[in-house]
Amino acid sequence: MAGWSQKPTAFIKVVKEDLIDKRKEITSDVLQAVISGSPVDTGTYKGNHRVSLDGEDLGYDLEENDKGGEETMRKGLTVIGRIDTPFGESIVQNNLPYAKPLEDGHSMQATQGVYGPGFAAVKEKYCK
């Protein structure tokens, strides 16, 4: 009678690592989508996208300007790199006082908002 060459439990670690990698990938894609979809005036909105793990980061900084988004992406990827569990909460958010009006389309550069279209694009990529 044929048996397993490895115990099925050996796959648990492989599956766990794959899920962690997928969580990192999806969170990175969401961050990239909101950064690239952000309207830019001074760069404050783009510079205030924040990534947090397993809890909200309610902060913002009116002095944080990042017109190109590279520094915001770098900071976010640093947080994303700390993901070590497959089933935690990854939060990408912007807490500036005017973030909600921007999401409601009050910018000629982002008439459909930022997070809604960004989430829809990432959902389309992964939920085919």
Q: What is the pLDDT of residues 53-89, one digit of tens each?
A: 999 999 999 999 999 999 999 999 999 999 999 999 9
SS (H, E, C) the chain: CCCCCCCHHHHHHHHHHHHHHHHHHHHHHHHHHHHHCCCCCCCHHHHCEEEEECCCCCCCCCCCCCCCCHHHHHHHHHHHCCCCCCCCCEEEEECCCCHHHHHCCCCCCCCCCCHHHHHHHHHHHHCC
pLDDT (0 to 100) of residue 10: 77
pLDDT (0 to 100) of residue 101: 97
pLDDT (0 to 100) of residue 12: 86
Residue ranges of the chain with per-residue pLDDT less than 70: 1-3
pLDDT (0 to 100) of residue 128: 77
Per the DSSP assignment, residues forming a β-bridge with 50 are: 93
Q: What is the pTM of this model?
A: 0.90
pLDDT (0 to 100) of residue 2: 63
